[in-house]
């Protein structure tokens, strides 16, 4: 047995964090990130460029490392703030996916829920001319309510008519996309940009071009809210009766029913919470990061968030980190392409790879435990 | 050259955490019925899985007809004329008997010498002959879905015989049968032996072994305890060897003292998902201090009665009263609050959250109340204290105490956890559905004692069981169900096992 241990010591030591179940929630995402960067490096090498340089540029562009020179009113701080600005809707959207996942539901309607709440907030508050102090909270409120209602509808359809949430959310995505595009093009279109008219600055959740210390910065107010909400969701899921019941329904519906938990009510409730979070993603996206809505287009955030949530283990704090990473790559891509001469699409390839490998996390976990079983089997037989 | 047809020498097989077989050596003579006796987890199924090619042993040798072999797959075992009749049938419901039996080795004919097709007519004829030869008459063109459990078992046996098995392994074949069907099956097994086959019978039922087996190997915790000549060994000695200590077969019971009525069922009718009436106009009462057992063959409506009382299934007609209160339309949680404890049949998919830890599972019926939570916030300290208390009190064994994931616990300890949780509710009515299924003998004794203890404390107990022995043992009153209808309700002293069996088959009714 001793001999056996020595023989595999190197690989054993290298892989112990992945083998150890306690560390798996962290080690598997980290490993999938590393693997995807290595895969991306190979792609960049094939293009004849230096991958390390490219990755460095990526981080420079996102405001993590300083660039060699900055334009007027710009610095690493402004870059970093726009990173946070872009990251905010992704955090909310991923939380939306995660809450649904905990309840055993697959909410792929985040994009539709974002669009509906973003549109309603735009129409109700964005064009109203209300003061900032009223307009901004109202935008958040409209977002939560609209998203929550739409999510709740999905939950209710599942509970009442047993319509699978994947089907209903996909359908609702289409309905939202085309109905809203109709209204924008009929009533709210800006003839120049071909998008919806811009909302008032008062209603916008990102303060644009704020001048501080000779710098012009975008300050994303929603980001602070995103962090607070993530912590709240963690508390809700881990420490409260409501969270316990949602998790119970997600873990085993039959046992939940046997226990006396109202499965239908919790299904609807989980989808309301999920939809509400998607609504927050919608308003921080359409009335924060942007200030208008492009008709007939669903935001890709709603779909990226599925993988971001998986990468973050559907854990609220994990999601903050995974959104941060994905946003860095997304934000840094422009700078990388200009500096290293690598096309911007490569950044999308990296994100795609990360998301792909993170989706494989469950498989890796399964495989590792299988391998472990086999190994122990062998060890026992040899001893 | 030995006279053994099968010899397994020094077989050792271990799985993570346990040694399933520890240096086991047995020899089986041609033409005998050789029984393997042991509790759940004693290693008898593992040993036979090795013989039938599902597992390879870590150590040890196997000789078939004196030749050393390494059985690497079930197909290889079949080539050596070894066949296994599984406890859980492996049949395709929508196929006919012939199609099931010939699956994988279908007789092929070629149309116009070119296009292959299955010669089903020929196969049907062959199977009919085969089934007559061994006294296992079946209609080969019938679909599996239309057959009774005992008929399905015949198909399993025919499947093995069709593959020309000489050595037949029966894995707990009587677990799903009524007493009459068991007698019939044992007759078939004897017939097979008389026609020259070698039979290995895995079981933990002693009376079956006494009835048909020639020799019997007793396994305990993976080790071979002894090989006995059945005729000259008493049942008590076999049981002692199997458990490793003395066991009492009769649970000790003081005479029941019935008090006030706790549960009253009036004209209960329950429909299943397809709209069929699975419980038809059932009425009975259970009094405080009474164990009322529903006896019946599986799927005759008994589980639906229990589910209807607990609120898991909708009642389509009739009323349920608990302590005089009409609970027919109460929610599941309200029923728990009013006073129902329910130990469900399927502990892994209903009774427990396998991915949650033990302390959470123990608090499952109370988490929403003070002191487990206040104002909607869970108090994990109370969960842990409560869990530790129950673990001590009910001797629930687990790897990491209250933090253990329930999935990793043994079936017996999972069941103990559920029973502990439900007893702790102190409900006036306790429903036990198949409480000892898949639990070893030591734990069965323990569970029976707990039920009787609860009865003596004045609880009303509803027991649903497929094990007639268990019902005869612990019940005060027996209700026999057949096809959704109660055939007979009488005190347990006034009924014999055979009578109950006849009612279970629907052969006799009032």
Nearest CB neighbour to A244, from listed B58, B312, B378: B378
Q: A253: distance to nearest CA of chain B, Å?
A: 9
The pLDDT of residue A11 is: 61
Positive or negative torsion for Cα B397, B400, B404, B408 = negative
Q: Each residue of B353-403: pLDDT tens digit?
A: 999 999 999 999 999 999 999 999 999 999 999 999 999 998 888 878 898
- Answer with the one of B197, B217, B243 that is the final residue of a domain: B243
| Range of lowest pLDDT (A76-90, B241-255, B441-455) | B241-255
Higher pLDDT, A357 or A296: A296
The pLDDT of residue B412 is: 78
Q: Is A260 touching B (CB cutoff 8 A)?
A: yes
Of the candidates B498, B464, B439, B447, the residue with the CA atom closest to the CA atom of residue B204: B439
The domain made up of A70-341 is a member of CATH 1.10.3470:
yes
Residue showing tokens 């346990």: B18
Asked if residue B373 is part of any domain, the answer here is yes
Please indicate, yes or no, whether residues B235 and B294 belong to a single structural domain of this protein.
no
How many C-beta neighbours within 10 Å does residue A84 have? 22
Q: What is the DSSP string of B85-147?
A: E-SS----TTSBHHHHHHTTS--EEEETTTEEEE-HHHHHHHHHHHHHHTT----TTSBGGGS
The pLDDT of residue A349 is: 82
Please indicate, yes or no, whether residues B66 and B16 belong to a single structural domain of this protein.
yes
Interchain pair A241, B333: CB under 8 A: no
Q: Which residues of B touch A (CB under 8 A)?
A: 14-16, 19, 58-59, 310, 312, 331-333, 335-336, 342, 344, 349-356, 364-365, 367-368, 373, 376-378
Q: How confident is the model at residue A3 (pLDDT cuts 50, 70, 90)?
A: very low
Interchain pair B349, A254: CB under 8 A: yes
Asked if residue B70 is part of any domain, the answer here is yes
The pLDDT of residue B245 is: 65
Asked if residue B344 is part of any domain, the answer here is no
| Residue to substitute from B16, B20, B370, interface A, most A β-carbons within 10 A | B16
- What is the DSSP-derived secondary structure letter of residue A284? H
- Answer with the one of B185, B214, B243 that is the final residue of a domain: B243
The C-alpha atoms of residue B462 and residue B286 are separated, in whole angstroms, by: 8
Please indicate, yes or no, whether residues B149 and B291 belong to a single structural domain of this protein.
no
Q: What is the mean pLDDT of chain B?
A: 88
Chain B residues touching A380 at Cβ < 8 A: 14-16, 19, 58
Angle at B237 (CA atoms; ends B7, B293), nearest 5 degrees: 105
In this predicted structure, the answer to whether residue B263 has a pLDDT above a threshold of 90 is: yes
Q: B162: distance to nearest CA of chain A, Å?
A: 35
Q: Each residue of A4-19: pLDDT tens digit?
A: 444 556 666 666 666 6
Q: Each residue of B461-478: pLDDT tens digit?
A: 999 998 888 898 899 999
- Answer with the one of B228, B243, B258 that is the final residue of a domain: B243
Chain B residues touching A376 at Cβ < 8 A: 16
Q: Each residue of B45-75: pLDDT tens digit?
A: 888 889 988 888 888 999 999 889 988 888 8
Average pLDDT score over residue span B339-356 = 91
In this predicted structure, the answer to whether residue B247 has a pLDDT above a threshold of 80 is: no
The C-alpha atoms of residue B235 and residue B232 are separated, in whole angstroms, by: 10
Q: Each residue of B92-131: pLDDT tens digit?
A: 888 999 999 988 888 888 887 788 888 888 889 999 998 8
Q: A243: distance to nearest CA of chain B, Å?
A: 10
The C-alpha atoms of residue B323 and residue A114 are separated, in whole angstroms, by: 53
Nearest CB neighbour to B351, from listed A248, A258, A381: A258
The C-alpha atoms of residue A369 and residue A376 are separated, in whole angstroms, by: 10
Q: Is A345 touching B (CB cutoff 8 A)?
A: no
Average pLDDT score over residue span B33-37 = 91
Please indicate, yes or no, whether residues B83 and B184 belong to a single structural domain of this protein.
yes
The pLDDT of residue B217 is: 92
The C-alpha atoms of residue B87 and residue A66 are separated, in whole angstroms, by: 69
Higher pLDDT, B306 or B205: B306
In this predicted structure, the answer to whether residue A377 has a pLDDT above a threshold of 60 is: no
Average pLDDT score over residue span B313-325 = 94
The pLDDT of residue A270 is: 97
Q: Check whether the bond before B371 is cis (ω within 30° of 0).
A: yes
Q: Each residue of B147-189: pLDDT tens digit?
A: 877 888 889 999 998 988 899 999 888 876 777 788 888 999 9
A/B interface, count of CB pairs below 8 Å: 65
Q: Each residue of A268-282: pLDDT tens digit?
A: 999 999 999 999 999
Q: How confident is the model at residue A337 (pLDDT cuts 50, 70, 90)?
A: confident
Chain A residues touching B335 at Cβ < 8 A: 260
Q: B494: distance to nearest CA of chain A, Å?
A: 36
Please indicate, yes or no, whether residues B224 and B139 belong to a single structural domain of this protein.
yes
Q: Is A244 touching B (CB cutoff 8 A)?
A: yes
In this predicted structure, the answer to whether residue B85 has a pLDDT above a threshold of 60 is: yes
Give exposure, A52-75, as e/b (b: 16+ Cβ within 10 Å). eebbbbbbbbbbbeebeeeeeebb
Average pLDDT score over residue span B479-494 = 91
Run of H or E residues at A263: helix A263-284
Asked if residue B348 is part of any domain, the answer here is no
Which residue does chain B place closest to A241, by CA atoms? B376
Residues B374, B395: contact at Cβ < 8 Å? no
Name beta bridge partners: B64.
Answer: B6, B67
Higher pLDDT, B176 or A256: A256
Please indicate, yes or no, whether residues B272 and B158 belong to a single structural domain of this protein.
no
Task: Report the CATH number at residue B256.
Answer: 3.40.50.300
Interchain pair B364, A259: CB under 8 A: yes
Q: A242: distance to nearest CA of chain B, Å?
A: 7
Tell me the domain boundaries of chain A.
Answer: 1-49+344-383, 70-341
In this predicted structure, the answer to whether residue A194 has a pLDDT above a threshold of 60 is: yes
In this predicted structure, the answer to whether residue A1 has a pLDDT above a threshold of 50 is: no
Count the domains in chain B.
Answer: 3
Domain of residue B472 covers 248-339+427-510
A44: left (phi over 0), alpha (psi -120 to 50) or beta: alpha
Chain B residues touching A242 at Cβ < 8 A: 376
Which residue does chain A place closest to B22, by CA atoms? A381
| Range of lowest pLDDT (B241-245, B301-305, B329-333, B501-505) | B241-245
ipTM over 0.90: no
Q: Is A259 touching B (CB cutoff 8 A)?
A: yes
Q: What is the mean pLDDT of chain A?
A: 88
Asked if residue B275 is part of any domain, the answer here is yes
Please indicate, yes or no, whether residues B9 and B155 belong to a single structural domain of this protein.
yes
Chain B residues touching A377 at Cβ < 8 A: 14-16
The C-alpha atoms of residue B71 and residue B78 are separated, in whole angstroms, by: 10
B129 HSE (CA, 13 A, CB side): 7
The pLDDT of residue A380 is: 52
Of the candidates B250, B317, B276, B323, the residue with the CA atom closest to the CA atom of residue B469: B250
Asked if residue B66 is part of any domain, the answer here is yes
Please indicate, yes or no, whether residues B392 and B463 belong to a single structural domain of this protein.
no
């Amino acid at each position: 047995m001793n001999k056996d241990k020595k023989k595999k010591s190197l690989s054993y030591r290298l892989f112990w964090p992945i083998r150890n179940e306690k560390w798996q929630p962290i080690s598997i995402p980290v490993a999938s990130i590393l693997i995807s960067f290595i895969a991306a490096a190979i792609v960049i090498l094939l293009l004849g460029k230096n991958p390390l340089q490219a990755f460095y540029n990526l981080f420079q562009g996102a405001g993590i490392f300083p660039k060699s020179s900055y334009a007027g009113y710009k610095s690493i701080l402004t870059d970093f703030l726009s990173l946070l600005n872009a990251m905010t809707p992704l955090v909310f959207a991923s939380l939306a996916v995660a809450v649904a996942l905990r309840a055993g539901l697959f909410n792929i309607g985040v994009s539709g829920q974002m669009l509906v709440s973003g549109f309603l907030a735009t129409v109700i508050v964005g064009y109203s001319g209300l003061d900032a102090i009223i307009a901004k909270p109202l935008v958040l409120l409209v977002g939560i309510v609209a998203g929550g209602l739409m999510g709740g509808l999905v939950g209710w359809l599942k509970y009442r008519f047993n319509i699978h949430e994947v089907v209903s959310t996909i359908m609702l995505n289409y309905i939202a996309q085309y109905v809203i595009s109709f209204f924008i093009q009929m009533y709210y279109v800006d003839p120049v940009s071909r998008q919806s008219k811009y909302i008032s600055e008062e209603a916008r959740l990102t303060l644009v071009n704020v001048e501080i210390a000779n710098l012009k910065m975008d300050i994303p107010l929603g980001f602070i809210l995103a962090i607070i909400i993530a912590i709240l969701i963690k508390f809700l899921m881990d420490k409260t009766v409501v969270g316990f019941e949602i998790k119970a329904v997600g873990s085993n519906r039959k046992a939940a029913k046997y226990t006396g938990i109202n499965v239908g009510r919790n299904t609807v409730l989980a989808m309301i919470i999920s939809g509400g979070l998607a609504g927050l993603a919608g308003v921080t996206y359409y009335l924060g990061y942007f200030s208008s809505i492009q008709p007939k287009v669903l935001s890709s955030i709603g779909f990226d968030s599925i993988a971001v949530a998986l990468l973050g283990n559907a854990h609220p704090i994990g999601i903050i980190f995974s959104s941060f990473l994905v946003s860095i790559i997304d934000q840094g891509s422009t700078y990388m392409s200009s500096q290293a001469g690598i096309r911007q699409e490569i950044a999308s390839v990296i994100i795609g790879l990360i998301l792909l490998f993170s989706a494989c996390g469950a498989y890796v976990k399964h495989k590792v435990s299988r391998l472990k079983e086999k190994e122990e089997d062998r060890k026992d037989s040899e001893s | 050259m030995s006279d053994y047809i099968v010899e397994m020498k020094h077989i050792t097989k271990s799985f993570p955490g346990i040694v399933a077989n520890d240096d086991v050596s047995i020899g089986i003579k041609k033409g005998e019925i050789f029984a393997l006796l042991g509790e759940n987890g004693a290693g008898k199924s593992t040993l036979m899985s090795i013989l039938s090619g599902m597992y390879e042993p870590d150590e040890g040798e196997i000789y078939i007809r004196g030749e050393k072999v390494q059985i690497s797959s079930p197909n290889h075992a079949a080539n050596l004329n070894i066949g296994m009749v599984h406890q859980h049938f492996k049949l395709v419901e929508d196929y006919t008997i012939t199609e099931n039996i010939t699956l994988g080795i279908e007789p092929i004919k070629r149309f116009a010498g070119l296009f292959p097709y299955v010669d089903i007519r020929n196969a049907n004829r062959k199977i009919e002959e085969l089934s007559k030869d061994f006294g296992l008459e079946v209609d080969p063109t019938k679909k599996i879905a239309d057959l009774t459990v005992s008929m399905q078992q015949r198909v399993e046996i025919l499947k093995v015989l069709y593959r020309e098995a000489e050595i037949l392994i029966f894995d707990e074949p009587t677990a799903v049968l009524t007493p009459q069907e068991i007698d019939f099956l044992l007759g078939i097994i004897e017939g097979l032996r008389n026609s020259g086959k070698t039979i290995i019978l895995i079981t933990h039922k002693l009376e079956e072994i006494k009835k048909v087996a020639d020799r019997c190997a007793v396994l305990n915790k993976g080790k071979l305890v002894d090989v006995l000549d059945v005729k000259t060994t008493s049942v008590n000695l076999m049981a002692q060897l199997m458990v490793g200590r003395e066991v009492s077969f009769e649970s000790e019971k003081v005479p029941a003292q019935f008090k006030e009525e706790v549960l009253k069922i009036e004209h209960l009718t329950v429909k299943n998902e397809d709209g069929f009436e699975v419980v038809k106009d059932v009425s009975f009462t259970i009094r405080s201090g009474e164990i009322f057992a529903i006896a019946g063959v599986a799927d005759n409506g008994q589980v639906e009665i229990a589910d209807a009382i607990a609120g898991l299934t909708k009642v389509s007609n009739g009323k349920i009263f608990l302590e005089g209160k009409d609970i027919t339309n109460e929610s599941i949680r309200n029923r728990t609050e009013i006073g129902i404890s329910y130990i469900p049949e399927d502990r892994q998919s209903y009774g427990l959250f396998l991915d949650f830890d033990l302390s959470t599972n123990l608090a499952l019926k109370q988490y929403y109340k003070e002191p487990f939570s206040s104002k909607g916030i869970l108090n994990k300290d109370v969960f842990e204290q409560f869990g530790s208390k129950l673990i001590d009190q009910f001797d629930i064994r687990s790897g990491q105490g209250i933090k253990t994931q329930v999935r990793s616990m043994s079936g017996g300890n999972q069941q103990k956890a559920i029973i502990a949780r439900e007893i702790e509710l102190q409900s006036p009515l306790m429903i036990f559905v198949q409480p000892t299924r898949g639990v070893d003998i030591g734990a069965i004794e323990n569970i029976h004692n707990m039920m009787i203890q609860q009865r003596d404390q004045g609880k009303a107990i509803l027991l649903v069981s497929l094990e007639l022995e268990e019902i005869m043992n612990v019940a005060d009153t027996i209700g026999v169900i057949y096809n959704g209808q109660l055939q007979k309700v009488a005190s347990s002293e006034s009924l014999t096992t055979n009578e109950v069996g006849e009612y279970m088959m629907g052969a006799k009714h009032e």
